[in-house]
Amino acid sequence: MWKERFPSIVQDMLSWEAAPYRCVECDCSAPRCKTCMCDAHQHAWFHYIEAWTGEYFKRYDLVSLGLVIHLGHRGQRCPHLSDHTEPSNMVVVHTNGVHNCRIHYCHCPDYPDHVSQLLRARVWPHTLDSPHTTFTVALLRAWHQLWLNAKISGLHFMRAIARYTDNAFPADVKDRTREFRLVSRVFGHLTMAKRAGKYHKLVVPNRDPNDLCTPCFQCSSPGFNVPLNWKEDTPDRLDYIFARTYAGDGNMSLNKRMRKDDKNDKPLSAMGGMWVNDPRMEAMINKSYNGDPNRSDSNQENETCSGFKVGRSQRTGKFRFVEVSGIVAITCRHVFFKSGAVIDLITGERFYFTDFALAGALRGLVFLPKELEKAYRIQEQTTQQFANLVALSGAKTSMKWASMDINTTAPTPSNWKEKVAAYAAGKNIYVLHHAESAYFAG
């Protein structure tokens, strides 16, 4: 079947070469002369054109054919543009390669500055002062998806763009990775802020105004998906319907080794992203890690508890050259990572890191932090009391107490004699006061 059509197919293929110029980007593009090719690409600046040399087709940018890009007038020349004004040379990086372009800006009396004109043309300048290198929005969006899904670096992405430009000699294409890293970071941040409604004055109840992340719209939120007076109108037995459930877990494989970082590298979304950025953390870390034995050679013994596998994995010296030993994250029951609730760990798991992460997850809520503060205060008192009891009793007596059954249905002894009698009978154990601990420890 195919062989019967070969002669007509070849004739169709030869029609591509009927004129000296052809576009390899346009679909169903017929060969044209130089002038017609430029006129047809007033809004398609980044197409590659092939010109017949007499022996083969050679690829060129449209600027080689004389195309000049005019901004602000839908591709037409600005009426206030002087005939003596020379176009500006501009390097534009697109998804199909690096292009050399010539651009005329708009010169109307109320025209915006050059940066705004470029952005409205959907090309992103790498600097605010006299830009000469730009990146198209299509390129930045393609990079963003590849970075999220393919996990490639900006360096490898720009190397691929260089091969799109010249696959035979990619080293001859000037490296634009440094400019691309800056532009892609600013583009990603502003896109996230725009989608979060920060520049549209969008207010989501119980969400921090600086939050740029997508919240969980299924979790209970008074004034959003739960009535404001839910606490007064809901019986105590139904409070669980509006409860928020959080879970915290750590990943000890996400390590970061110590290296020399740029001190001038500042976060663009401080207090608005996933990571905890509480200024009180720095003081806490400095106080906690002065003279940390895990940062140097140490004879500290490893955890030997058979049920504490994470503790056994934190071998001595493991964190000597590690700046971040893992992360802890807080999620809701709908498996949404909470913003401001992911925190870097230093030399293993510690409770106050999780406390900071939990505090970040509760940002914007009013009633929950009050109840949490009350629970922490009760827990702290109970923990101190139990610690005093164990310290006075010793390991042997503590193990004996741990093996005794706790009768949760029996009434708590109201006086000292009843407590002594219950302990002597070996039936019940109760939380004791500090003074009472000394009696049983003796």
Non-local CB neighbours of 325 within 8 Å, separated by 6+ positions: 252, 255, 318, 319, 345, 346, 347, 348
- Residue with the bigger pLDDT between 258 and 429: it is 258
Q: Are residues 176 and 313 in the same domain?
A: no
Residue 212 lies in a domain: no
Q: What are the CB-based long-range contacts (under 8 Å, 24+) for 201-206?
A: 206/364, 206/365, 206/366
What pLDDT shows up at residue 134?
92
Residue 214 lies in a domain: no
Please give the average per-residue pLDDT across 331-340, as a whole number: 88
Q: Are residues 49 and 133 in the same domain?
A: yes
What pLDDT shows up at residue 29?
65
Residue 203 lies in a domain: no
pLDDT above 90: residue 136: yes
What pLDDT shows up at residue 435?
46
Rounded-to-integer distance, Cα 60 and Cα 102, Å? 14
pLDDT above 70: residue 408: no
Q: Are residues 268 and 385 in the same domain?
A: no
Q: Are residues 292 and 382 in the same domain?
A: no
Residue 425 lies in a domain: yes
Q: Are residues 275 and 358 in the same domain?
A: yes
Q: How many CB atoms lie within 10 A of CB 10?
A: 10
pLDDT above 60: residue 305: no
Final residue belonging to a domain, choices 303, 331, 365: 365
Q: Are residues 342 and 265 in the same domain?
A: yes
Q: Are residues 48 and 181 in the same domain?
A: yes
Instruction: Assign 434 a pLDDT band (cuts: 50, 70, 90).
Output: very low
pLDDT above 70: residue 379: no
The tokens 């346009």 sit on which residue?
26
What pLDDT shows up at residue 411?
54
Residue 201 lies in a domain: no
Q: Are residues 176 and 315 in the same domain?
A: no
Final residue belonging to a domain, choices 365, 386, 401: 365
What pLDDT shows up at residue 238?
80
Domain count within the chain: 3
What pLDDT shows up at residue 326?
84
Q: Which residue blocks in 107-176 are alpha helix, DSSP H?
A: 114-120, 137-149, 154-165
Residue 202 lies in a domain: no
What pLDDT shows up at residue 420?
63
- The 10s digit of each residue's pLDDT in 159-174 is 999 999 888 888 899 9
Q: Are residues 387 and 312 in the same domain?
A: no
What pLDDT shows up at residue 230?
80
Instruction: Assign 9 a pLDDT band (cuts: 50, 70, 90).
Output: confident
Q: Which tokens belong to 85? A: 């004004």
Q: Which tokens belong to 407? A: 């009768």
Residue 213 lies in a domain: no
Instruction: Assign 158 a pLDDT band (cuts: 50, 70, 90).
Output: very high
Residue 191's domain comprises 13-195
Which of 122-131, 238-247, 342-351 is least confident? 342-351
Residue 200 lies in a domain: no
- H/E element, 423: helix 416-425
What pLDDT shows up at residue 296?
41
What pLDDT shows up at residue 228?
82
Q: Are residues 72 and 22 in the same domain?
A: yes
Q: Are residues 397 and 352 in the same domain?
A: no
- Residue with the bigger pLDDT between 351 and 249: it is 249
Q: Are residues 281 and 333 in the same domain?
A: yes
pLDDT above 50: residue 380: yes
Final residue belonging to a domain, choices 317, 344, 365: 365
Of 19-28, 208-217, 262-271, the range with the highest mean pLDDT is 208-217
Please give the average per-residue pLDDT across 131-146, as a whole number: 92
Please give the average per-residue pLDDT across 170-185, as a whole number: 91
Instruction: Assign 432 a pLDDT band (cuts: 50, 70, 90).
Output: very low
